[in-house]
Chain A
Amino acid sequence: MAELFTLPVLVGILYSGIRLATPYLFAAVGETFAQRSGVLNLGVEGIMLMGAFSGFYVGMKTGSPLLGLLAAAVVGILMGLLMSFISVTMQAEQGISGIGLHLFGLGLSSLLFKTTMGGVESIEGFKAVRIPLLADIPYVGESLFNHNVLVYAAFLLVPLSAWVLNKTTLGLKIRAVGQNPQAADTLGVNVARVRYFCVCLGGMLAGIAGASLSIALINLFQENMTNGMGFIAVALVYFGGWRPFGVMGGALLFSFVNAFQLWIQVKGINIPSDFAIMMPYVLTILALAFATKRAQGPAALSKPYERGEN
């Protein structure tokens, strides 16, 4: 174990930990908006897959990762629209409709991948942008300030979202709709519109989260490449107590454990790699067990709203 605690390895873990937090941050912050408005969107995984595919495909065809990112965002919004139509307008049981959306995204992304590409290819993707001066800080500089733009964007999204949720009228409306839709409705807030907005915003961020894998971090697309990340992102929202900064704490904890287990494998330490890969999932269950008693979620979470009920 001692070889894990050398300076280069620790710097390496810091670098990968920051990097790996990116998809979790986008997806989980987006899901925070949906859940704060009262909609449990369990289909994040399926949206991420669609985002990952469309981002990759457009990025590959046009040679521009930026256009790929745009495509992923648009596809994410469309998936969010589908989810909001089923959950808000048709008032479906949200746990199950989310699973439906996941299966749909999983199937469609594989179908499109097989018919348009067929084999795994890789592309250039977003390049790292080194921030001058800050990146020159000894040891931590390179780890923190030499990433591609999506990594920075994911971390900037956190304070921005906290500000929107807590300090703006829009945030107030979102929280009101998630906490007490009847009261919000009486005060003239359009419950359905706010929920549509939040689920679509969440969908857009989930699409970007998927694209961050396929055009910024791994730079290739594979079937089911998210491998449970979307579900973990939903768990992080619970873990983070429905607050953006809490979610960021969870995402970092998670990505550092992940980075740690990758380095365990790189260093060939005598733990079966299967157990190393298992660690983040076990951690999620433990995290949920400790987090659930602590924080209370939005009161109307996963309850469809209809006027005149109650």
Chain B
Amino acid sequence: MKRVLNKVFEALLPLLAVPVAFLIGAIMLLALGANPLEAYGAMIAGAFGDVSGLTQTLVKATPLLLVGLGVCIAFRGGVINIGGEGQIIVGALAATAVAVGFKEWPGLVLLPLCLLAGVLAGAMWGGVPGILKAKLGVNEILSTVMMNAIAVQLSNYLLRGPMIDPKEIEAGTRIAQSALLPRSVWLARLVPQTLLHSGAIIAVVLAVVVFIFLWRTTIGYRIRAVGLNRDAAKYAGIKVPFYQALSLILGGAFAGLAGAIEVMGVQHRMMENLASGYGFSGIVAALFGSLHPLGSIPASVLFGGLLVGADKMQRAVQVPSALIDTLLGLVVLLVVGSQVISRRRARRRETRG
């Protein structure tokens, strides 16, 4: 019984991070002259209060969950993937290019092909840091951040040049966005009159798949072994560099898919700022879900709600939505800062026997 209670306590510990962060947020709101109760009320009502808010929350939760799944795999493999932002961008670019390039093809073929293009582009974008890590020991945190910056420039170039919507040139407005995707690759709407699309279902199914992959397959076991103890894994004959590269490639693949789904489900064309911070918030969601694929589902919904609610709060009490970015940062600091408590408790139990 005591062991179960201990486990429950440790699983709930990261959850404390959100109320604590919000308490700090309340102090900031007071300092800004806003009523915290009113602000948070507007936020919660906006994100979860009605069908429109709830569906928007789920729309935002979808890319968070997909990026978060990639983050789970990478972190479980002991590598840190900060490259979600860039991987989303190249995934979206690849899906757009395929959809616009082969728009005559039947949707039954084209739609999966677009998703695949997103996956492959993301995998490639995660693969460069992955292979550099495996072959040369290059710090993956830094290389993934650089790959983000490179992806932004690549996207700027393509959307102003080769991939720009021909209509934008005709009209002379030259807004940096691609042509509209053919309707055959638009993801089906789940609730009429809202943006909620079938990508949300894909994401939840994949969360279960990732869970099975990490805990029920040999490759998943090896990835976790490398992450838990690199040296022990090496002695056990596991090729550590290979699995580190694989974790980063898979992480990239999921973020690339998130980009493809965002473009095919929500925007229906590639544009600047499509990734809009999902690459970073996805990390927060995964961490908050204790780096567990199934835990990432509710965590993504929560943080999706925060992103939606932040906009509503901004309109209700005139506090910039940047407050939420600040709170996300605090949540990360609190979650990783509190992990030591679980670790110490675990060790105390061990020494007591």
Q: Contacts A103-B325, A293-B137 given: A93-B336 contact, CB under 8 Å?
A: yes
Contact in complex: A92, B322 (CB < 8 Å): no
Main secondary structure of the interface of A (DSSP, over half): helix
- In the docked arrangement, what's the CA distance between A102 and B333, Å? 10
- For chain B, the count of residues having a C-beta within 8 Å of the partner chain is 49
| A111-B146 contact in complex given A96-B80, A238-B139, C-beta closer than 8 Å | no
Task: Let me know if A107 and B325 touch, CB within 8 A.
Answer: yes
User: Are A285's CB and B143's CB within 8 A?
Assistant: yes
B154 and A289 within 8 A (CB): no
A138 part of interface (Cβ distance < 8 Å): no
Residue of A nearest to B148 (CB): A228
Specify which of A92, A232, A284 is in contact with B337 (CB 8 Å cutoff).
A92
Q: Which residue of chain B has its CB nearest to the CB of A96?
A: B336
Cβ contacts under 8 Å, B340 to chain A? 90-92
A103 to B: closest C-beta gap in Å: 3
Contact B82 A293, beta carbon cutoff 8 Å: no
Distance of B277 from chain A, by nearest CB (Å) = 9
B142, A288: Cβ atoms closer than 8 Å: yes
Q: Is B266 an interface residue (CB 8 A)?
A: no
Q: Is the CB of B326 within 8 A of A293?
A: no
In the complex, chain B residues whose CB is within 8 Å of the CB of A238? 139, 142
Q: A238-B139, A288-B139, A292-B137 are in contact. Are A97 and B337 (CB under 8 A)?
A: yes
Across the interface, B338 reaches (CB within 8 A) one of A90, A103, A281, A292, namely: A90
CB within 8 Å of A: which B31-69 residues: 32
* B320 engages A114 (CB within 8 Å): yes
Residue of B149, B322, B332, B343 near A281 (CB, 8 A) is B149
In the complex, what residues of A have CB within 8 A of residue B146's CB?
Answer: 228, 231-232, 235, 281-282, 284-285
Q: Mark B320-335, 1 if CB is under 8 A from A, else 0.
A: 1011111111111100
The residues of B that contact A285 with a CB separation of less than 8 Å are: 128, 132, 138, 143, 146-147
How far, in angstroms, from A108 to B160 measured CA to CA in the complex?
Answer: 32
Question: Is there contact, CB below 8 Å, between B328 and A228?
Answer: no
- The answer to whether B325 touches A106, judged by C-beta atoms less than 8 angstroms apart, is yes
Residues of B within 8 A of A (CB): 28, 32, 80, 82, 128, 132, 136-139, 141-143, 145-150, 153-154, 156-157, 160-161, 280, 283-284, 287, 319-320, 322-333, 336-340, 343
Identify 7 new A-B residue pairs, CB closer than 8 A, beyond the known A281-B149, A281-B153.
Answer: A97-B333, A103-B280, A104-B329, A115-B320, A228-B148, A238-B142, A289-B138
Chain A residues proximal to chain B, CB less than 8 Å = 42, 46, 82, 85-86, 90-93, 95-97, 99-108, 110-111, 114-115, 223, 227-228, 231-232, 234-235, 238, 272, 274-275, 277-278, 281-282, 284-285, 288-289, 292-293
Sorted from nearest, which 9 A-B pairs have the closest CB atoms? Answer: A104-B329, A107-B325, A100-B332, A103-B329, A107-B326, A274-B157, A110-B322, A92-B336, A100-B333
16 A-B contact pairs sorted by A residue (CB < 8 Å): A92-B340, A97-B332, A99-B280, A100-B336, A106-B325, A107-B325, A107-B327, A111-B28, A228-B146, A231-B142, A238-B139, A275-B153, A275-B157, A277-B153, A288-B132, A288-B139
